[in-house]
Amino acid sequence: MNVTRGVILKTISNIIVKATWFVTFPIMARYLGSDGYGAYGQLMTVMTFIVPFASFGVGGAAIVRFMSINDWTRQNRRWLGKILLFVVSSACVISLLFALLAPVINHLFLGWDRGVELFRWGSAFIFVGALEMLIYQVLRSRLWLEEYAAFEIIQTLINVSAIIYLVPRGYGLIYLIKTLIVLKILFYAVMISGFWTWHKIVASDKETRTATLTRMMRFGLPMSFVGLGTTLTTLGDRLVIGHYLTAADLGIYGAVCVFYALIEALNSPIMLPLYPQLMKVVDGNDPAGVAYVVGNIHKYSLLVIVPSFFLLSVIVKPLLLLMGGAEFETGLTLIILILLRGVVGKFNSIAHYMLMCKDRVVFIQNSLIAAGLANLALSYIIVPYMGLTGAALSGLICFVALESVVFLQASRYAPLKSLYRMDILAKATVASLAAIGVIMLWNTHLAPDKFQLLFATAVFGAVYLAVIVILKGIDRSDIEKVIKALAPKIISRKQD
C-alpha cells in the first residue's frame, strides 16, 4: 500500500467532489427549478441527521474492530460479516419506519406537494448511507487509502452521471432518486464483496483486538451524538426553513451555503499539518514552538479565507443567476451572513485543535451540541419574521457564540489573543478591499456573464497579491516555500 499515492488520490477526490457542484447545479436548477433543487437538498439534510444512528453506531465504530490489525484474517472477515448483518438489519428497520412517517416528515420539514413520495423513496438512502459509512470506516481502519479515494471518486461519478443523463431528459427528481439508490446498492455490493476477495487472507486466526457489538455501540453512539451537534450547528436552520418557508427558499439557501462550504474547502489544506505539529509542541511543553505553529498556520489561513470572503461576496449573486436563472435571485445581505459563518469558523479553528491537544474533547462535544440546539431554537423564533435572512443571522450568531466560548477556553492553555495574526487580518482586508475597488472602477454591477465573472476573479487575484506583497503580508520566504513545494530543484540549485 502506497500511502503517498493514497493521500494524493484523496486530495484529487476532494477536488472532484467540490467541482462537480458547478456541473450538477445548473442542470438541476434549470430542469427541476429552485423547488426541486431545494427538495432534493432537504432530503439529503434529513438523511445527514438520521444515517449516523441507523446502525446504532456500529457502522461508524467499525474502526474499533479493524484498525491496527496487521493481518486480514479469516476471523476478521467473519467479524465483518457479523457487523454487516447487524448494519443491514437495523438500517432496514429504520428505513421502513422513516417511510411510514414520510407524511409527518414532509409536513414538518418540507411541505412540498410531492414531498411524501420523495421521503418514502428517499428512505432507502438510510440503508444506503449506513452501508456507505461501514465501507468508509473499514477502508480507513485498514489504511486502504487508494481504495478509499477510488470509492469516493466513483460515488461522485455515479451521482454526476445520473444527473447529467436523467434530469435533462425529463425523468424528474423521484426517478433520479430511484436510480441513484439502485446504482449505489449495486456498487456497494461490489465493494463489500471485495473485502472478501480483493485482499489476501492470512492463515492466522490470532485475536489481536477484542470488540463486541455492544462495545462498538458504546463507542459509536456517543460519536454519533457529537456529529449531531455539528450537524445541528451547520444544518439545523434548514429544518426550520423547510417548516416555515417553501422548497424554493430551501433551494436558494442551499445554493448560497455551497459557497460557505467552499471557504472551508479552500482552508482545509492549510489545516492538514496543524494537529500533528501542535500536538508535538504542546506535549513537549514548548511555548516558543506553540507560538510559531499557531502564528504560522493562522497567517496562511487568513491569507486564504479573507480574500475568499470578499471575492465571493461580489460574485456569488451574479454566479447563481448565471447557473441557476432568475429563480435563484437573492440579496447581498443573505450572501454575506452565510459567508461570514465560514470566516468565523475558520478564523478560530486553531482554538479547537488546542483543546483537542489538551484532551478537552468532551468540552468541544458539549459546546457543539449546545450551539446546534441554540441554532435550532433561535431559527425557530426568527425565521417566521425574517425569512432566509433570519436563518442566516441565527446561524452566524450561534457560530460567534460557539467560537467565543472555545477561544476563551483554549486561551487558558496558550495566549491566543497575542498569537493570532491580527496584523495579517488587517493587511488581507486592505488588500481585498483594494481589489474590490479596482473591480468596481471597471464595472460597478457585475452581470451574470461568464467573461465578466472570470475577468473579475482574475483582476481580484492579481490586485490582491500585489497589494498583500506591498504590505508585506507575504514575504520572500513565503514565496520560496511555495516554489520549493512545487519545484524543489529550483531552490536546491539556488542553495548550491
Q: What is the pLDDT of residue 118?
A: 95
Q: What is the pLDDT of residue 107?
A: 93
Tell me if 395 sits within 8 A of 344, measured CB to CB: no
Distance CA 237, CA 242 (A): 9
Residue 381 lies in a domain: no
Q: What is the pLDDT of residue 14?
A: 64
Residue 306 lies in a domain: no
Residue that is last in its domain, among 199, 234, 255 = 199
Tell me if 257 sits within 8 A of 338, measured CB to CB: yes
Q: Which amino acid is located at 101 in the chain?
A: L
Q: What is the pLDDT of residue 264?
A: 78
**H or E stretch covering 181:** helix 172-197
CA torsion, ordered 460, 465, 466, 470, to nearest 10 deg: 140
Structural domain boundaries enclosing 66: 1-199
Q: What is the pLDDT of residue 2?
A: 44
Residue 313 lies in a domain: no
Residue 406 lies in a domain: no
Neighbours of 205 (CB within 10 A): 11
Residue 42 lies in a domain: yes
Residue that is last in its domain, among 174, 199, 224 = 199
Distance CA 277, CA 71 (A): 30
Tell me if 276 sits within 8 A of 332, measured CB to CB: no
Backbone angles phi, psi at 488, to 5 degrees: -60, -25
Tell me if 11 sits within 8 A of 193, measured CB to CB: no
Residue 218 lies in a domain: no
Report angle CA 247, 252, 255 to the nearest 5 degrees: 120
- What is the chain's pLDDT, residue by residue, as a tens digit (496 residues)? 444 454 455 556 666 777 788 889 999 998 999 999 999 999 998 998 888 888 776 665 555 555 444 555 666 677 778 888 888 898 999 999 999 999 999 999 999 999 999 999 999 999 999 898 888 877 776 667 677 777 888 888 899 999 999 999 999 999 999 999 999 999 999 888 887 776 555 555 454 455 566 666 666 666 666 667 777 777 788 889 999 999 999 999 999 988 887 887 777 767 766 767 788 888 788 889 899 889 988 998 899 899 999 999 999 999 999 998 889 989 999 999 999 988 998 899 899 889 888 878 778 888 888 998 999 999 999 999 999 999 999 999 999 999 999 999 999 999 999 999 999 999 999 999 999 999 988 887 888 888 999 999 999 999 999 999 999 888 776 666 655 544 444 444 455 4
Distance CA 435, CA 464 (A): 5
355 grid coordinates:
483543546
Looking at 308-365, which runs of residues are DSSP E strands?
Answer: none
Residue 291 lies in a domain: no
CA torsion, ordered 321, 322, 324, 330, to nearest 10 deg: -10
- Look at residue 202 and give its three-state secondary structure: strand
Closest to 397 (Cα-Cα) out of 372, 366, 425, 431: 372
Report angle CA 175, 181, 183 to the nearest 5 degrees: 100
Q: What is the pLDDT of residue 272?
A: 63
Q: What is the number of alpha carbons within 13 Å of residue 395 lying toward its C-beta? A: 32
Residue 403 lies in a domain: no
396 grid coordinates:
452566524
Q: What is the pLDDT of residue 490?
A: 46
Closest to 388 (Cα-Cα) out of 179, 262, 244, 173: 244
Residue 321: C-alpha distances to residues 256, 315, 327, 465 (Å): 11, 10, 8, 28
Neighbours of 10 (CB within 10 A): 16
Sign for the CA dihedral angle at 49, 55, 59, 60 comes to positive
For the chain, what is the domain count? 2
Longest CA–CA span in the chain (Å) reads: 73
Residue with cell 478509499: 148
Residue that is last in its domain, among 172, 199, 226 = 199
Q: What is the pLDDT of residue 60?
A: 59
Q: What is the pLDDT of residue 77?
A: 72
